Amino acid sequence: MSKSKAIRILGMGKYLPERVSSSALEIKYGIPHGWSVGHSGVETRHQIDKESCGFMGARAAEKAIENANITLADIDLLISASASFDYPLPNQATMIKNEIENSDNYSFPAITIDSTCLSFVAAFDFAARMLDGAQYKTILVVTSEISSKGINTDNWETTTLFGDAAVAAVLTFEPNSHSRFIKGAFQTFSEGLYDTIIEGGGIVNPPKEKPYDPILHSFKMNGKNLLRMAIEKIPEFLNDFFSDLPITIEEVDAIIPHQASKSGLMIFKKLYRFKEGQVLETLSKYGNCIAASIPLTLLDGIECGQIKRGDTCLLSGTSAGFSIGGILIKY
Amino acid sequence: MSKSKAIRILGMGKYLPERVSSSALEIKYGIPHGWSVGHSGVETRHQIDKESCGFMGARAAEKAIENANITLADIDLLISASASFDYPLPNQATMIKNEIENSDNYSFPAITIDSTCLSFVAAFDFAARMLDGAQYKTILVVTSEISSKGINTDNWETTTLFGDAAVAAVLTFEPNSHSRFIKGAFQTFSEGLYDTIIEGGGIVNPPKEKPYDPILHSFKMNGKNLLRMAIEKIPEFLNDFFSDLPITIEEVDAIIPHQASKSGLMIFKKLYRFKEGQVLETLSKYGNCIAASIPLTLLDGIECGQIKRGDTCLLSGTSAGFSIGGILIKY
């Protein structure tokens, strides 16, 4: 077992754009009434009006900094941990930094980590390893996702499933803290690459050669293949993850899975004998917010008092790739 | 001073698409003969025919693995460290992994780090901190950049300046090695965000709402502002970088700057009293290859015998953002 490290979530913050009910979406796109709750399990989600990922991320970051009771001067590194981006270049982290009020006075680096839906979890893992109490005492991780601009609204499944949200966390190395980064691990099975993809808009289908096409330039997923891979790979991954730990997954205080889909969550919960409420769910109110789902669910658990200091939390999920990953922390 | 760590570049590899001379480009785009060498300082660069970033990165990775005398089974993590990407989703690291021969048999994670032109340097820094000889013994960093698809060919400066290339490095933690990761540091001044940008193709100007426009969807840079910022910020950054080190920048064996532009390299060299050949340059033969320039120049120095085991090397440059960064290693 790897040694645990005194990493503490000092504060978190979120930004949610306007709430949109499923019935409003159903009316707008000619989807039968009730389809969303029945198929996607999503009752409400938030969607942007004019916000950018940078704007939302900056607002979440400012709240996290306030919640942590620190200032911008304390930040040693900003990591943007998202799949969506405002501009193809420069990196999204710079865009978020630029939108944070007063950030021009600070030169802390802004670097992007992308592991699609697992970006926040991967960035937390990287940050926990980088935090050394010397060069890196405090790292700000910001996840800001806008899915509503990249969806083909003829596709009812994706139209009703996804939501927009931004969440930020201030992570610190505190030798005397009881908080802990216990373990992190990731796997990528790249044979699943084409099962979750936006095909248009990069080097393979560049804007110059491929004009807008709702299929080519929208998010596509092969839900069946993804579920098959998840069912096959998740138990193996989690068995391996807990094999060198002194606790089992069923003994973890709070399980915070990616809110990928209704069926994904259902299947995951059936794999183990979890207690009522042990697995946190926010899919019905926020939808699948890409990499923001996991930290948003964590923050919800903290805000409603379900997660307390000292609780063990497993943040885990799958992501486009196909990847699986997770971190175990003591909050 | 931060403690140095026994990190070793075990092997490197590159992939270069077809070489294109400046005169061929000048004829193709109606640029006066000799303009490229005179203005950009670039005599030849490489440009893709049908290659993708994933294809090029995978070929470079396979060569690095062979050069390091290891196998895919030894890889604990693949980091894609590039600004360009094949698809907006999933992350580019997955695309590279998928293109590596036989990679389906291995589940090592594939995660993307983007710090635009400094991506390789940032990924090296992150990897050096993650390598622990336990969970992470060997990390493969792959930088694969294709600029030729995102350039407005009416803009002579960018048309002649940029090149395509992929480079990979196998990094290991070897307690008994004389190789060292000595230091790494980065800064981001996000007021320079709009001085180097591709505006179209993300959330702010999404494909659905903004049809292709050669200005909006091409790489743009405000060279004057960038040079001004570089002249102001680089000396401060480097003075600070070396302030807690036992050597000065002039005592470093090999200085490997980002090959950003002819004037950028000239100004940088005048800041210090470097010896002839101490600053490695590949701009004239490869052009500016975004994040691939620094590792390509490092590999060139190793291949031609200019960099030997035990030499100190400074990998440093500026990137869109505006960011400055560098790592000091003992090769």
Is residue B52 within 8 Å of A203, Cβ to Cβ? yes
Burial A4-22 (b: 16+ CB within 10 A, else e): bbbbbbbbbbbbbbeebeb
Please report the sign of the dihedral spanned by the C-alpha atoms of residue B132, residue B136, residue B140, residue B145: negative
- Phi then psi for B128, rounded to 5 degrees? -60, -35
Q: Closest to B109 (Cβ–Cβ): which among A132, A199, A323?
A: A323
In DSSP terms, B318 is beta-bridged to B324
Look at residue A150 and tell me whether its pLDDT is greater than 90: no
Model pLDDT, residue B179: 97
Per the structure block, which two tokens stand in for A43? 């009752």
Q: What is the predicted pLDDT for the residue at A39?
A: 92
Interface size between A and B, measured as CB pairs under 8 A: 237
* Average pLDDT along chain A: 95
Percent of chain B with pLDDT over 90: 90
Q: Which residue has the higher pLDDT, B108 or A40?
A: B108
Residues of chain B found within 8 Å of residue A188, distances taken between Cβ atoms: 78, 93-94, 97, 107-110
CATH architecture, domain defined by B181-330 = 3-Layer(aba) Sandwich (3.40)
Top residue of B80, B111, B234 to mutate, by most chain A CBs within 10 Å, is B111
Q: How far is A304 from chain B (nearest CA, A)?
A: 32
Q: Average per-residue pLDDT in chain B?
A: 95
- Predicted pLDDT of residue B2: 55
Q: How far is B3 from chain A (nearest CA, A)?
A: 10
Q: Is the pLDDT of residue A110 over 80?
A: yes
Output the pTM of the full model: 0.97
Q: Partners of A11 in the beta sheet?
A: A170
- Interface contact flag, A114 B115, Cβ < 8 Å: no
Fold match flag (A7-176 vs A181-330): yes
Band of residue A152 on the pLDDT scale cut at 50, 70, 90: confident
Write out chain A residues lying below 8 Å of B193, CB-based: 90, 94-95, 98
**Taking CB atoms and an 8 Å limit, are B109 and A130 in contact across chains?**
no
> What is the helix (H) or strand (E) element at residue A196, kind and residue range?
strand A196-197
pLDDT higher than threshold 60 for residue B134: yes
Domain ranges of chain A: 7-176, 181-330
pLDDT > 70 in chain B, percent: 99
What residue ranges in chain B does DSSP mark as E strands?
Answer: 7-15, 18-21, 44-47, 77-81, 110-114, 138-145, 165-173, 180-188, 196-197, 220-221, 254-257, 312-319, 323-330
Is CATH 3.30.465.10 what the domain over B7-177 is classified as, yes or no? no
pLDDT at A253 over 90: yes
Whether the pLDDT of residue A1 is over 80: the answer is no
Q: How far apart are CA B198 and CA A88, in angstroms?
A: 6
pLDDT tens readout for residues B165-211:
999 999 999 999 999 999 999 999 988 899 999 999 999 999 999 99
| Alpha helices (runs of H) in chain B, residue ranges in sequence order | 22-29, 35-39, 53-67, 92-99, 119-130, 156-161, 223-242, 262-270, 283-286, 293-303
User: Could you give the 3-state DSSP secondary structure of residue A88?
Assistant: coil
Please report the ipTM that was assigned to this predicted complex: 0.97
Cβ of A98 within 8 Å of Cβ of B191? The answer is: yes
| Chain B residues whose beta carbon lies within 8 Å of the beta carbon of residue A77 | 186
Nearest to A112 among B107, B114, B196 (CB): B114
Domain spanning A7-176, CATH class = alpha beta
Q: Which residue of A has its CA nearest to B197?
A: A89
Residue A113 in this model has a pLDDT that exceeds 70: yes
pLDDT at A237 over 50: yes
> Does A26 have pLDDT greater than 80?
yes
Smallest Cα distance from A133 to chain B, Å: 11
Evaluate if residue A2 carries a pLDDT over 60: no
For residue B53, CA distances in Å to A186, B95, B97, B177, B267 come to 23, 8, 11, 33, 31
Nearest residue in B to A78, CA atom: B188
Is pLDDT at B287 greater than 50 in this prediction? yes
pLDDT of the residue at A329: 98
- Average pLDDT on A184-194 reads 94
Q: How far is B269 from chain A (nearest CA, A)?
A: 24
Least confident of B96-100, B154-158, B286-290: B154-158
pLDDT tens-place string over residues B9-55: 999 999 999 999 999 999 999 999 999 999 999 999 999 999 999 99
The reported pLDDT for the residue numbered B227 is 87
List, for residues A260-319, the tens digit of each pLDDT value: 999 889 989 999 999 999 999 999 999 999 999 999 999 999 999 999 999 999 999 999
Note the pLDDT of residue A151.
Answer: 85
Nearest to A129 by CA among A113, A105, A151: A113
> Which among A86, A134, A217 is the nearest to B204, CB-wise?
A86
